[in-house]
Amino acid sequence: PNPPQRASLIEEGVVGDAITLTGYVLDTECRPIAGAVVDFWQADGAGVYDNEGYRLRGYTLTDDAGRYVMETVVPGEYPGRTPHIHVKVQPPGGAVLTSQMYFPDAAANARDGIFNPALILDLQETADGPTGVMNFIVAP
């Protein structure tokens, strides 16, 4: 699929509490990677995916400092899965890293066989609201 480039996944009618995702894409020597694609897709706050269009699906590019920012909602859980956000990161001309972002203290984390505690977002309360931080290290 070819998801749209956007700064926010939130559209009219999307269910869920707003959250900002941010962080950096760095190379293996911790240098920022500008122009990396950071592609997100997820369920809404009720645990429902849009399987027909691009609701809660889209990508952004990192800036010159390697930073990405995406506005979205906290996903709900659905049978067998804890709340999570799918993400693919691809530096210009490089390989795609496919991963997931998880939420700390989600009760379903303990029941999800795919859950990986190394992929928990660093949640922070900011003046603009809740923010989830995750950095990515990729081969350039």
Backbone angles phi, psi at 88, to 5 degrees: -120, 135
CA angle 122, 76, 54 (to 5 degrees): 95
| 76-117 per-position pLDDT tens digit | 999 999 999 999 999 999 999 999 999 999 999 999 999 999
pTM > 0.75: yes
Task: State percent of the chain over pLDDT 90.
Answer: 98
Cα 9 from chain centroid? 10
Given this model, what pLDDT does residue 140 score?
79
- Coil, helix or strand at residue 118: helix
Residue 1 pLDDT grade (very low, low, confident, very high; cuts 50, 70, 90) = low
> What is Dmax (Cα atoms) for the chain?
42
| 25-51 per-position pLDDT tens digit | 999 999 999 999 999 999 999 999 999
> Please, what are the domains in the chain?
18-137 (2.60.130.10)
